[in-house]
Each structure stands twice: as C-alpha cells, then as structure tokens.
Structure 1
C-alpha cells in the first residue's frame, strides 16, 4: 500500500466525518476527534463503524466464496470484461486534465478489477492516480490488499459500506461498480462534477447455458433502459463472448445468485453437466451525474 498525505486527504472518518490523516508512526488513520483505524498486516484498513478490527458480525463474502471467486477470476474467464473496463476507464476525461485522478471501486470484492486497472494505469502514462477499493467483506479486501503488494500503483483496500463510504464530498473522479449494489445518492455525493461511473451489470443472456441446466423455465435478465436517478447514460458497451467453464463451473456457480436460489435437486443437474460452452454477456454503462 502506497500512501501520501494527499491520498489521506480524500478520506474521512466513518464515525464523525472529519478528515483522516495517515499517521505513519502508528501505521493507522486518525482524525482530530481521536478516532483511530489500524492498518492490518495484510495492508487493508477497517473503515466501517461497528465492526472495526474484525470485531462484531461478519459481513459480505466468507472464505469459501472468496476462494471460489478468486480461482474463477484468475482462470482468465472474465479477463475480456476487465480489459474493456480498463480501456473505457483510460479514455475518461479525468486522465486528460493533468491532475491527480481519484478512483474508487465500490463493491470491489477481492480486488480483481481494481488491481487489474491499477496494472493498466502503471503500464501507461496515467500513473498520477490514487485508487481505493471498498467492500463489506473483510476476507475479500484482505485478499485484494495482499495482491496489491505486487502493484506499482497500489490501491488502498478498506472494509466499508457502499452506502456510507469514508470519502469526502465530490472527491472521486472515476467510480467502478461491478456486479455490486448501486448507491445512487452516495455515488452522487462523492463524485466530482466531471466524474463518471463505470457500472457493469449482467446482460440478458449472461450464463444462459447454466440457467438452462438449472431451471426448467429459464428467463433472460432484464436490461435497464434508463439511467439511475440523478444520472445520465452517456454510452453503453456490450461485452459478449463464449468461454469454456468446464474446469471451474462450480467456482462460478458459487459466485452467482443461483447458489442461494437453487434447490439441491437442481444443483444435481449441474453436477451431471459439463459447461464447455458458456455465454458471458455484460453491459458496461458509462454514467454521468446530471447537471
């Protein structure tokens, strides 16, 4: 994790909303009211009130889900989507003004898309950035922070709610929201006037062959036509391709909503099926705050 005083400037205390300062001697973030948030040995920080330092009820994905998603994503199955996210992000205006760009991945999970974007930025000329990844799952952000140690441009990962992010008003230039809840009012609060949201949602035929295997009457995902309240849809990019999921179809199943909705009998159908040809269908939406 690479931190500067400017990086800490955009962070605010999740308890009192005062500015957070990185105290190098304490290896912690502190505010003027005495609230302190230690940086874990893995490199992440807990910035969600009520559960700091790992105490309290666990939120978000557990160990098994994080491991399953990590194995699947590291197989490269969703790399074309990540590449398109990076390409679209690098074309955003926040990288053309010569200023430090602040990027936030809201609902970053284990940091796959966050860290790959950091890699893309480090390989290009857009290295003047600060990157944050927020998620409710402590297990997930810990994994992301460990992976980020290898990055030249190291994101800061934190346990935080998407609906109460520890960021100052209008401090974010680019916000990623990949398969995560969309907190419209909170996103509008933290976005700068010239900022943008890159939202990724499932397309109509996403994982269609898996749905056909699991359910007698599968239905297509509904694709939204309008932008969320407070936003305008600048453009929409469809990313669709076919990939072989036969070696990791169970890891994929565990990272989908189907895991919670599928009966034991229907799961057995998947056990007896090899998904060697599976459709990936994503919508990448570029959303701008309304004037």
Structure 2
C-alpha cells in the first residue's frame, strides 16, 4: 500500500517530501497528487513523458502468462538473489509491470516495503493488488524518479528500461541493483518461426556500457529452462511483449498454424547484480 512507501517518495516537481492524507499526496510547496481508486498514484510531472506504457491488452496477456507459472523460475531466482542481499530500506522495482516479480521478492524479504514504478497505469492497477506491501506509482523511467536520494536498499529491473544515473541516486550506499535481461537464446524457437523481435547478441555488453559510469557489476547467473506452451500460451507471450507493437495478427495466425501444439520453448535470462 502507498502508506508503506510514503516516507520514501519525493515530489516530481520540487523534490520535497510527500505526505499522505485524505486520499492525496501533498508536499510542503503545495503540489498534490490524488490516489486513483484502483490504489496507485501518478507522480508524472505533467502529462509529458518519454515512453509508451503497456496497453490494457498487453498487461492482461502478461498477467495471464505469469499467473500460469511459465516464468516462475525467473521469479524464484530473483527472490533468492534478493534474500542473499538482505537489503535495508525500500525495495524499488523500476518497470514493475503487474508487480509479479516484486511480490515474489517481498515474500522473501519480510517487513520490507516495495515500490512498483511503471509508466503504465494499466499495469499498476494490478501491481497495487499484487502484494500487501506494494505501493504503486506511475512515473517515467527516463526522468527523475519520484523517490528520495539514497532511499532504496535494493532496486529491481526486469525486462525493463534502466536509467543508470537515477538508479545510482536512489540506491543507498552499499545498495544493490538486480537486473534481469534476456539472453539471445530467449524464446529462440518462436523468434524465427513467428518473426518476433530478437535479442541483440551484444545486449549484455551494451547494458554494462550504459550502467558502467554509475554502477559496478557483481555476481551474475544465467537462468535457463524449457517451457511447454500451448498455441494459446504462444499467442499470449507474443501479445505481452514488445513484439506486440510490430506483429500483424493475420500473419501471426498463419505462423501459429505451422507450430506444434504444444511447442517446447527456451526461456533464458541473466540475473545480474550491480552496486
């Protein structure tokens, strides 16, 4: 709930502290932000932002796919890595989506509050209900985050945009970023067959180049496993990710008809720590 993360929030206009009262967050300079009835709050500075959030259809697809447990090994690996860190302060998930991964991490970290940060209000409607200790906040990953300096002991970033300078500002001294990114083997059986977006072979190098000025890489592990997906599952995994913006429905239907049902698909990610 937002009460759990109130003391960590900062006004997106002036950077001062925010206090919750009567369903509104207010700062001493008079800026105010009303809580949505679904439990999240928008702390975007005005209507302008730099990205496009996931649509309601994309979020629904992701929620269905995750609820089916297909990516549960990723969530479990992330939760285990978080438990090993044993962070103080806030757990902030940048690009939290529906809150699925943050909820798993909070289960492994009793009493720690969690901030689900995302630009999609459709995702945050679900994140606000994903765990009793999650507070859901609409914000832009590429602008100053509405969190106080050195407020988070742990930050998560799972298949999401990453702003190295803001992550560094928000992390406490000694804090950790746990970053989950796909390897080039991720969903490889579907990429060519369905014409999906592929993962750059140099993705890990590019991540470290962008984060390098702000964070130091630490322990990294690969999590790879096989999924047995029905045709409906395959359609869902396409609909929930970035390929949803580029896929022609008719062509997808034709390509799906050429796949086995069910089909064996590789899930392959890296879970990397930075400090």
**TM-score, normalized by length of structure 2?**
0.89
- Assess if the C-alpha contact under 8 Å between 1:206 and 1:221 holds in 2: no
- Corresponding residue to 1:69 among 44, 52, 62: 62
In the other structure, the counterpart of 1:211 is 191
- CA spacing shift, 1:82–1:207, aligned 2, 3 Å: same
Per-residue CA distance 1:95-127 (angstroms, 9 max, x = gap): xxxxx5211000001111112222233xxxxx2
Matches for 1:151-166 after TM superposition, within 5 Å: 151=132, 154-163=133-142, 164-166=144-146
- Rounded Cα–Cα distance in structure 2 between residues aligned with 1:143 and 1:280: 24
Deviation at 1:76, TM superposition (A): 0.1
Per-residue CA distance 1:35-68 (angstroms, 9 max, x = gap): 111122221111112249xxx9994111111111
Larger displacement relative to structure 2 (257-266 or 277-286): 257-266
In the other structure, the counterpart of 2:97 is 109
Larger displacement relative to structure 2 (7-16 or 270-279): 270-279
Gaps of 5+ in 2: none
Larger displacement relative to structure 2 (10-19 or 227-236): 227-236
- Assess if the C-alpha contact under 8 Å between 1:133 and 1:158 holds in 2: yes
- Assess if the C-alpha contact under 8 Å between 2:147 and 2:170 holds in 1: yes
In the other structure, the counterpart of 1:281 is 268
> Is it true that 1:20 corresponds to 2:18 in the alignment?
yes
- CA spacing shift, 1:10–1:131, aligned 2, 3 Å: same
In the other structure, the counterpart of 1:269 is 255
In the other structure, the counterpart of 1:239 is 223
**TM-score, normalized by length of structure 1?**
0.84
Per-residue CA distance 1:248-282 (angstroms, 9 max, x = gap): 11110112233334456752212432352000000
Gaps of 5+ in 1: 95-99, 122-126
Structure 1 counterpart SS, 2:114: strand
Across the two proteins, how many residue pairs are aligned to each other? 267
The alignment yields a C-alpha RMSD, in angstroms, of: 2.5
Larger displacement relative to structure 2 (169-178 or 252-261): 252-261
- Rounded Cα–Cα distance in structure 2 between residues aligned with 1:248 and 1:180: 22
- Assess if the C-alpha contact under 8 Å between 2:176 and 2:274 holds in 1: yes
- Assess if the C-alpha contact under 8 Å between 1:102 and 1:172 holds in 2: yes
Structure 2 counterpart SS, 1:254: helix
- Assess if the C-alpha contact under 8 Å between 1:104 and 1:176 holds in 2: yes
- Assess if the C-alpha contact under 8 Å between 1:236 and 1:286 holds in 2: yes
